[in-house]
Chains A and B, each alone.
Chain A
């Protein structure tokens, strides 16, 4: 498994990234089918169905407690690490069920990266934050080049190039979050999951991350959870709106192109939430 990952990473670094657009811009990189997610006996989300388009930004919005984070954590099988975490239903990645018994979740997570709500760099140097993911995935190429490449892609290189040996904790919150993005893209995933990546950042750092997201979708498919509707409108191509039901379980109200959602939503609930008339 590791050797496959290694070859994949080296191939991506030595050649140009393969043109995913050849499958047609409407191709689905992931698809969620009839997904129920549980914590023990508590069903956190109920019967969610939605696609995630390749090289697009898919936003997941909704009120607190509607299961946005749970949903996104199902996509790279981080949910099963939570106490009592399990799912029913199907999640397809490149057409294959990620919960099939032959799928190794560790290998899967190196293909579906994740950025968390609170920046969580390792208490190590900036350089080693990036190198760690490459090392554990068996990367044998030029490490310094790979680190520089990912820092450039995350628009952080110019700010940190003279202090790569400094602790990542010496960076500002926004820089730390871009470092976490750089760390995620270093291992060349196909999909990047972002769980409210700007919720701990100030407005300027938030705009920097949003610019970055728009650039990154050229190469990656991005799923972003956000409680900020302006953010969803600014960065995403498609939006899913989740609500909390009577049983405290989240369900999908509407999924559509972001433009349609924000100008002419099909459901009254969506309109109420987007315009702020939400109780």
Chain B
């Protein structure tokens, strides 16, 4: 028998001894985590320092203006709420439905493998490509114009892949014994999935939905590509209205030379973060509710 070839980890362990090398690797892992947390903290601090001051009632209830001190985010905020609400309505049933089919019902063959490969590839496609697709299919093809519903449909396409992948992970985390238990009681496959597997996998499915929401709410490029306006002076009242959203508003302010608009942009970012946190807290509350009821 030859001695195994020396590995880097093996050599370090030999030099430092077991205990110290273990400390070393734990330390490396902790610093990696710390680096991420630190970056986020600095980012939040800078944005809060620049933006919190400008975030008042006037800012929330005003339309855009040429003068930075009069400008507000009312149209963009309402646009974001409209677009996100409608996007949720589209991507949650379609994404979770596709995950259920692929995970529970589809046979393993070349066709499902092709679909799976496609989904993972789509998850990596640049978002502006989705914007152009939305422009061609929804804005012109289906003649929806640069409307809220066209934007929601575009964002739905954008977040479907990550929703499907995360939901499938969630369903896979439910032990097969749950399906067997239900089917041995005379449940159909569908009854087993709907009554037992889906509720048990719900916490992970909801995590996927949270991630997808976070992705969709920050997207700017695809919505600009499909023709969303920058300055809107009305609150949308129906899904076919034109609109703008917070990231586009922030983007247009950042691009202006007047320093007052930079402050507005920071305040807009804080507002966007608050909206995102509110939306997520609903999903987190739901996840907690489901998670409390199970454990294995």
Interface residues of A (CB under 8 A from B): 5, 76, 78, 81, 106-107, 109-111, 113-114, 116, 118, 120-124, 132-133, 136-137, 167, 169, 180, 183-184, 187
Contact = CB atoms under 8 A, between A and B. Distances in A.
Contacts of A136: 182, 185-188, 191, 195
B296 A113 contact: no
Interface residues of B, number: 21
B185 A123 contact: no
A187 B183 contact: no
Interface in B178-194: 178, 180-188, 191
Nearest to B191: A136
Contact of B186 (A116, A121, A133, A180): A133
The main secondary structure of chain B at its interface with chain A is helix
Given A118-B177, A124-B293, A167-B293, A133 B185 contact: yes
A78 B180 contact: yes
Contacts of A81: 180, 183
A172 to B, nearest CB: 15
Contact of B184 (A78, A118, A124): A78
B197 to A, nearest CB: 10
B184 A184 contact: yes
Given A122-B196, A136-B191, A78 B182 contact: no
A193 to B, nearest CB: 8
Contacts of B199: 123-124
Contact of B187 (A106, A111, A114, A124): A106
B294 interface: yes
A187 B181 contact: no
Given A122-B196, A133-B186, A187-B186, A169 B295 contact: yes
Given A123-B293, A169-B294, A110 B180 contact: no
Contacts of A121: 181
A120 B178 contact: yes
5 contacts: A81-B183, A110-B185, A123-B295, A132-B182, A136-B182
A71 B181 CA distance: 18
A8 to B, nearest CB: 11
B186 A109 contact: yes
Interface of B: 175, 177-178, 180-188, 191, 195-196, 199-200, 293-296
Contacts of B178: 120, 122-123
B185 A116 contact: no
A269 to B, nearest CB: 32
Contacts of B187: 106, 132-133, 136
B188 A120 contact: no
Q: Which of A5, A106, A183, A187 counts the most chain B CB atoms within 10 A? A: A106
- Lowest 9 A-B CB distances belong to which pairs? A110-B186, A123-B294, A114-B184, A133-B185, A120-B177, A120-B181, A109-B186, A136-B187, A136-B191
Contacts of B191: 136
Contacts of A169: 294-296
Nearest to B186: A110
Given A123-B293, A123-B296, A124-B293, A132 B185 contact: yes
A180 B183 CA distance: 13
Contacts of A167: 293-294
Contact of B181 (A110, A137, A180): A180
A106 B186 contact: yes
B217 to A, nearest CB: 32
A76 B184 contact: yes
B111 to A, nearest CB: 18
Nearest to B295: A169
Given A5-B186, A110-B185, A122-B200, 13 more contacts: A78-B183, A78-B184, A81-B183, A116-B177, A120-B180, A121-B181, A122-B178, A123-B293, A123-B294, A123-B296, A132-B182, A137-B185, A184-B184
Nearest to A110: B186
A109 B200 contact: no
Nearest to B108: A83
Contacts of B182: 122, 132, 136
B180 to A, nearest CB: 7
B293 A137 contact: no
A121 to B, nearest CB: 8
Q: Which of B178, B181, B186, B199 counts the most chain A CB atoms within 10 A? A: B186
Contacts of B293: 123-124, 167
A249 to B, nearest CB: 24
